[in-house]
Structure 1
Amino acid sequence: MNLTGAIEHVFRKYLPSPFTIAVLLTLLTILLALLFTESTSDQNHWVAILRYWESGVWNNGLLVFAYQMMLILVLGHVLVLSRPMEQLILRLTSYVTNPSNAAVWVALPTMLVSFFNWGLGLIFGAILARKVGEHAQKNGVPINYPLIGACGYVGLMVWHGGISGSAPIKVSEAGHLQSLMENISNSQVLSNLPNTVSTSQTVFSNWNLIIFMIVIVTISLIALRLGRTTKPTNLDLPVYSFLGISDKKPKGAERLDYAKWLSIAFGVLILIAFAFQYAPLLRTLNITPNMLNFFMLGLALILHGNFQSFLHAVQSAIGDTAGILIQFPLYFGIMGIMAGTGMINGISNFFVSISNGVTLPIFTFISAGLVNIFVPSGGGQWAVQGPLVIESALRLNVPLPKAIMALAYGDQITNMLQPFWALPLLGITKLKAKEILPYTIIFMMAGSCIYVFGLLIFA
């Protein structure tokens, strides 16, 4: 426990807010570019770097990417605040009868839900953990509540290898790789890049599904064991209220806001359009960000049953997107500097010099885990580190799906160490980071072993 206390102390004392880190990383990148790169044009090098930075900040394609990631988070959160999801959480909670199955009934569903959507899994796991705590308190089940909270967070160690994973879902878009590498690789390399790396080659590949199954079984067994052996904690939790809306009777045109038939009809219309538009991609298991968001929008409208409830949930969820809204452009600016000055090629040369086709995915996994501590966003990390991974993989003939998933695995695993995305869970469960860290670190160590061996054996 002293180790976890030390980790929390380091994070609190030496790591400022994610936005401040993004600013510091921007300044560091500018400094490194000034010191270690040379101007490729007649203009002043300092001015050129600032131009690269500004063009990266407002890169149209990457700004679309940021908005897609915001919608994935918001719509996932909106879904979990619907009445059917509330009933599902309460049903799962009713199965808790002892400390062991309490931990499993939180960890396993959270990981399965997070594989579908990380925003949904993040809030689903938090509310499920809180409701299990309340159920245990009411029925005298002796649980270790910090362990239950940690189990509600384990979805963040599988999300990036799932359907809403930033890297695999973005490279499935036609033309994204060429756009990402346009100012980095030469024309010959660009012409050989695939137009798309389908999620059938990444998320839905046999080897990724095998790794995922091993992870969820292993983590569930560890949760079962910890639930049985850890000391119960005292509980004093008031009842957590799910999102509700006013019971006032609507008048006039306001009735349309509460009309169940209109919300469901519009949601069904969206799903019909979804089926016609994306049927070819669905048949090949190629999931794109727009496809996922369109489906979740229609589903959310149906599950909420009226526009008022839906919009109330959106208002509640929108605050979680603040980090993406303001931090992503800074990361895009960093990528603009690295691409424009040639820094990406220099870093890629380093990785190529110390790696081979076997070890590059492992180095990618480790480096992605380290980067995630400072860039706690899969989408932001893909914008900064993605071009490095692609360039190195191309030069060492490492299959792109394997390199992309190595980055995804590394990014997601250190979420168990980085408390940034745990903030919503900590707020809902009323736990502290130092209370869940002893258990999330255990989950992280087990998951790291599985991902490394998976990249060596299955991928």
Structure 2
Amino acid sequence: MKLSRSEAVANWYSRYFPDAYILALILTILAMVMAMAFTPTTPIEVLGHWFEGIPSLFTFAFQLMFTYAAALVIVDTPVVQRFIRAVSRIVKTPMSAYMWTGILGAVTSFIGWYFGPIVTAIFARSVAKQIQGIDYRLISAIAYSSFTISLTGISGTIPLTVATEGNITEILGGVIGLEQTTFSTLNLVSVAAIVITTTLIYYFIAKNKKEIVTFQDLAIEGYQETAVTAAVEEKPKTFAEKVNSFRPLLWLIGAAGLIYLVYLFINQGLNALNLNTVAIIALVGGMLLQKDAMTYAKSFASNLVGTASIGMQFPLYGGIAGILVGSGVAATFTEYMVSFATAATYPIITFLFTGILNLFIPSAGAQFQATAIFLIPAAETLGVEIPRAVMAITYGDLWTNMIQPFWALLYFPILAQGTRLTVRDFLGYCLPILVAIGIIWILGLLFLPL
């Protein structure tokens, strides 16, 4: 069977691209080598920066692991399983599943980068299980590609940073509101173009697909999502067992959490939505929907195993960021890149440079803090609009996520649970998106007004 061109590229990527964890180890070594080669940093100082950087993402990693395990507890409940089956009766064909996954992912990711992946991954997994003929690798790629516009949305790290009084305000010449970044003509037109373009690209990829690998093909034999619930359905015999299975206890705490969440959103609106809030929503949702406290605990423990990739890899990238920022490599490369820029080429050079740097420092906040002190003054000197420079950095940071598996780990715990799916199985399908969004953002930075 002759594969389509997109399938051939994706299979090549899967065959030759290393596992996400191995890539993190390789990038760690490269960061160490660059620090010693391009700066006067000694080997022991490099190791010191690495040692200090690793814990910097401990909190972030735990937040994500907790959130995803709690979200999977909700997926395990009978009421959600019934809802998923109902949704699959509305989305009846593989093509409609592909299209709706991309649209849902784009909308939810624009609202919140920490919110979109959970909703989109659950939806993609659910329809892939229920509808025959869906290629699970492709729908996983579509779900992940929708993350492309996440940090250009209302939860974008860099636009929110420049819109807030802080240590970067003086460099910027004052606060830059979201109307000049997130809600600028440049950004809104670019977002619309990206959503339309990626939808069309995946439509033609799906239409020409020859090889279909379904969820069932990748499922681990004997794995059952409802196994935890089934294992605890024996009738309690002792007082302790009766207390353990006393459902109102779990409901009481869940109801208390729900009351405060409602109060929070009434008073703060979407401003209340952040990673911590999403984690609490997942926790409260599971408490209200699960059978009892012990069922909840066992389901959470079972699903936490699937988040191991986050716990292993995020701290490694914290170490890489520590090396590149602490040794001065990031600053050295930044100064060099902007040294030969002009007013016309600066946004594009900045976009390309931050895209490359993103491979090593995929955290937008860490990257911006390391490079803004050079990139923003250079833009001002060259006469480039500061909001345009800010968006060039934002776009570059997002661009190479299509080949950098760091953020794919937001989707992986849900998509891969109970399957043999790996990140490299679906990341190859994102390569056409990398090219397309790169062209859109370059054209936007060159020609679109703020």
* Alignment-mate amino acid for residue 435 of structure 2: M
Residue of structure 2 aligned with 1:412, choices 394, 398, 403: 398
Residue of structure 1 aligned with 2:225, choices 225, 241, 250: 241
2:130 maps to 135
CA distance in 1, matches of 2:19, 2:307: 29
Q: Over residues 411-434 of structure 1, what are the superposed CA-to-partner deviations in whole Å (9 max), with x where a residue is unaligned? A: 323222234444617634644556
2:191 maps to 212
2:63 maps to 71
Structure 2 portions without partners, runs of 5+? none
Q: CA deviation at 1:408?
A: 2.5
CA distance in 2, matches of 1:368, 1:175: 22
Q: Give the TM-score, by structure 1 length.
A: 0.73
CA distance in 1, matches of 2:297, 2:379: 43
1:427 maps to 416
Q: Contact 1:300–1:310 at 8 Å: present in 2 too?
A: no
CA distance in 2, matches of 1:431, 1:175: 42
Q: Contact 2:110–2:152 at 8 Å: present in 1 too?
A: yes
SS in 2 for 1:152: helix
* Alignment-mate amino acid for residue 111 of structure 2: F
Matches within 5 A, 1:390-405: 390-405=376-391
* Alignment-mate amino acid for residue 427 of structure 1: A
2:27 maps to 21
Q: CA deviation at 1:323?
A: 2.7
1:93 maps to 88
2:158 maps to 167
CA distance in 2, matches of 1:371, 1:386: 13
Bigger mean CA offset, 193-202 vs 6-15:
6-15
Structure 1 portions without partners, runs of 5+? 35-44, 179-190
Q: Cα–Cα, structure 1 residues 256 and 384, in superposed 2: closer, same or farther, change >3 Å?
A: farther
CA distance in 2, matches of 1:109, 1:303: 21
Q: Cα–Cα, structure 1 residues 387 and 207, in superposed 2: closer, same or farther, change >3 Å?
A: same
Q: Over residues 17-73 of structure 1, what are the superposed CA-to-partner deviations in whole Å (9 max), with x where a residue is unaligned? A: 314423430342133111xxxxxxxxxx759x93x98579759xx94x873576367
* Alignment-mate amino acid for residue 12 of structure 1: P
Q: Contact 1:114–1:156 at 8 Å: present in 2 too?
A: yes
Q: Over residues 396-453 of structure 1, what are the superposed CA-to-partner deviations in whole Å (9 max), with x where a residue is unaligned? A: 3433433232222223232222344446176346445565355322222222222222
Q: Contact 1:197–1:401 at 8 Å: present in 2 too?
A: yes
SS in 2 for 1:158: helix
1:156 maps to 147
Aligned Cα root-mean-square deviation (Å): 4.2
1:260 maps to 251
SS in 1 for 2:92: coil
2:275 maps to 293
* Alignment-mate amino acid for residue 416 of structure 2: G
Q: CA deviation at 1:334?
A: 2.6
SS in 2 for 1:118: coil
Q: Cα–Cα, structure 1 residues 414 and 356, in superposed 2: closer, same or farther, change >3 Å?
A: same
Tell me whether 1:359 sits opposite 2:345 in the alignment: yes
Q: Cα–Cα, structure 1 residues 3 and 293, in superposed 2: closer, same or farther, change >3 Å?
A: closer
CA distance in 1, matches of 2:65, 2:107: 16
Residue of structure 2 aligned with 1:450, choices 426, 430, 440: 440
Q: Cα–Cα, structure 1 residues 134 and 9, in superposed 2: closer, same or farther, change >3 Å?
A: closer
* Alignment-mate amino acid for residue 59 of structure 2: Y
CA distance in 2, matches of 1:409, 1:242: 41
Q: CA deviation at 1:175?
A: 0.9
Q: Over residues 122-143 of structure 1, what are the superposed CA-to-partner deviations in whole Å (9 max), with x where a residue is unaligned? A: 3443343333222223xxxx44
Q: Across the two proteins, how many residue pairs are aligned to each other?
A: 416
Residue of structure 2 aligned with 1:122, choices 88, 99, 117: 117
* Alignment-mate amino acid for residue 225 of structure 2: S
Q: CA deviation at 1:218?
A: 2.3
Tell me whether 1:231 sits opposite 2:213 in the alignment: no
Tell me whether 1:82 sits opposite 2:71 in the alignment: no
SS in 2 for 1:17: helix
**Per chain length, whose mean CA-contact separation is higher, i.e. which structure has more relative contact order (CA < 8 Å, sep 6+)?**
2
Q: Contact 1:143–1:233 at 8 Å: present in 2 too?
A: yes
Q: Over residues 91-143 of structure 1, what are the superposed CA-to-partner deviations in whole Å (9 max), with x where a residue is unaligned? A: 44332333321210222212222223334433443343333222223xxxx44
Q: Contact 2:112–2:273 at 8 Å: present in 1 too?
A: no
Q: Contact 1:117–1:162 at 8 Å: present in 2 too?
A: yes
1:304 maps to 286
2:328 maps to 338
SS in 2 for 1:364: helix
Q: CA deviation at 1:157?
A: 1.9
CA distance in 1, matches of 2:193, 2:69: 27
CA distance in 1, matches of 2:261, 2:74: 18
Q: Cα–Cα, structure 1 residues 456 and 206, in superposed 2: closer, same or farther, change >3 Å?
A: same
Q: CA deviation at 1:172?
A: 4.1
Q: CA deviation at 1:330?
A: 4.2
Q: Cα–Cα, structure 1 residues 94 and 451, in superposed 2: closer, same or farther, change >3 Å?
A: farther
CA distance in 1, matches of 2:103, 2:186: 20
Q: CA deviation at 1:363?
A: 1.5
Q: Over residues 173-197 of structure 1, what are the superposed CA-to-partner deviations in whole Å (9 max), with x where a residue is unaligned? A: 431426xxxxxxxxxxxx4535644
SS in 2 for 1:153: helix
Identity of aligned residues (%): 23
1:187 maps to none
* Alignment-mate amino acid for residue 82 of structure 1: I
CA distance in 2, matches of 1:204, 1:242: 44
Q: Cα–Cα, structure 1 residues 56 and 291, in superposed 2: closer, same or farther, change >3 Å?
A: farther
Q: Cα–Cα, structure 1 residues 24 and 353, in superposed 2: closer, same or farther, change >3 Å?
A: closer
Q: CA deviation at 1:331?
A: 1.1
CA distance in 1, matches of 2:194, 2:404: 19
Q: Contact 2:63–2:279 at 8 Å: present in 1 too?
A: no
* Alignment-mate amino acid for residue 304 of structure 1: G
Q: Give the TM-score, by structure 2 length.
A: 0.74
CA distance in 1, matches of 2:15, 2:377: 37
Q: Cα–Cα, structure 1 residues 439 and 333, in superposed 2: closer, same or farther, change >3 Å?
A: closer
Q: Contact 2:254–2:287 at 8 Å: present in 1 too?
A: yes
* Alignment-mate amino acid for residue 407 of structure 1: I
Q: Cα–Cα, structure 1 residues 11 and 172, in superposed 2: closer, same or farther, change >3 Å?
A: farther
Q: Contact 1:80–1:86 at 8 Å: present in 2 too?
A: no
CA distance in 2, matches of 1:174, 1:310: 41
Q: Cα–Cα, structure 1 residues 350 and 93, in superposed 2: closer, same or farther, change >3 Å?
A: same
